[in-house]
Amino acid sequence: MIDQTSADHSSRWPNAARCVVAITIDFDGPSLEIGRGRNTLGIYSHGRYSAKCGIPRYLRILEETGIPATFFVPGYDAEQHPQSVREIVGSGHEVAAHGYVHEGWDLGDEEPFFLQKTHEILTDLVGAAPLGWRSPSGHKSARTMRALKRLGYIYDSSDKDRDLPYLAEFGGRVHDNLIILPNNTSSLDDFPFYRVSYTPPSEVLAHWIEEYEAIRAEGGYFNLTLHPRVGYGSGSPARAHIVKELIEYIKESGDAQFVNLAQFADWCLKSPRRWLKTPPFVNGGAA
């Protein structure tokens, strides 16, 4: 039986889904260490796991569960592991941009150069320009957004300030061809669980199921961020396995729509006024 909460929101999403679900995977290979001036050996070798084990493991999981995903790939990692990127695309998944060397600092005036550099690397490798971007460290400004728009991006998945998508606003106006797809890096990201609190995978799964059910009850949008590296990421067997369990749980709910973010952004931008920051949604539609 569908409760009243879900009925109120049933017309919001594609195919009248009760909840939209995006599985997003931040490649985060050796670029992260290189960007911080470290070598990639010994205690700093975690990122090398991504291409060797993490990415192949997730491609198998996605094939077995039959869902699409979005992979955010730093330009340096694409240069170092082009075959991994080709396998992602060959498996039917989206490749989006994620910095060049996973920049953990404000690039200032150099930012457009780095955005352009990764854009060209991914375009040449994939054969099509990326449509989405996620900040590798949270740094972002109006300059960032101007560069993304100039390069033809249709979405950014970096902000943490809303539960639902919304149109980008910068330069004193709303842009109806560039949408923000927020990502929750506190409770829908593996980093704090595996790097900060060192939570066992079984408890992480229980938490993510609770998050999914709460979001589903509101007719919301579930954007999960994973890292296929070892250490703080979800690349290793037990941590990857609980992601598969989560996907299967969500599929069994029967009313979720799995999307890659480019597909979802394109769908949202076909009705841009629905995604203004204000007025808010009321009873499944814009007020």
In percent, how much of the chain has pLDDT > 90? 79
Tens of pLDDT, residue by residue over 183-220, are 999 999 999 999 999 999 999 999 999 999 999 999 99
pLDDT exceeds 80 at position 268: yes
pLDDT exceeds 60 at position 258: yes
Please give the residue that has the higher pLDDT: either 139 or 124.
124
Tens of pLDDT, residue by residue over 77-115, are 999 999 999 999 999 999 999 999 998 777 778 888 999
Can you give the pLDDT at residue 287? 31
pLDDT exceeds 60 at position 5: no
Can you give the pLDDT at residue 139? 85
pLDDT exceeds 90 at position 225: yes
Give the span between the Cα atoms of 42 and 264, in whole angstroms.
40
The CATH code for residues 19-274 is 3.20.20.370
Give the span between the Cα atoms of 194 and 56, in whole angstroms.
20
Can you give the pLDDT at residue 107? 74
Can you give the pLDDT at residue 2? 29
Please give the residue that has the higher pLDDT: either 3 or 161.
161
Check the CA dihedral 31-35-36-42 and report its sign.
positive
Report which of 194, 190, 28, 24 is spatially closest to residue 102, judged by C-alpha positions.
Answer: 28
Domain coordinates in residue numbering, the chain: 19-274
Give the span between the Cα atoms of 131 and 95, in whole angstroms.
8
Q: Are 242 and 65 in contact (CB under 8 A)?
A: no
Can you give the pLDDT at residue 11? 64
In angstroms, the Cα distances linking 279 to 159, 271, 276, 283, 286 are 19, 15, 7, 12, 7
Give the span between the Cα atoms of 220 and 6, in whole angstroms.
9
Q: Give residue 173's region: left, alpha or beta (phi > 0; psi -120 to 50).
A: beta
Mean pLDDT, residues 259-282? 85
Give the span between the Cα atoms of 13 and 18, in whole angstroms.
7
Give the span between the Cα atoms of 242 and 152, in whole angstroms.
36
Can you give the pLDDT at residue 37? 81
Can you give the pLDDT at residue 3? 35
Q: Give residue 124's region: left, alpha or beta (phi > 0; psi -120 to 50).
A: alpha
Cis link prior to 279 (omega < 30° from 0)?
yes
Can you give the pLDDT at residue 281? 43
Beta bridge partners of 257: 20
Half-sphere exposure of 57 (CA within 13 A, CB side): 25
Q: What share of the chain is helix, strand, coil (3-state, %, to 5)?
A: 45, 15, 40
Give the span between the Cα atoms of 95 and 74, in whole angstroms.
10
Report which of 265, 181, 280, 186 is spatially closest to residue 223, judged by C-alpha positions.
Answer: 181
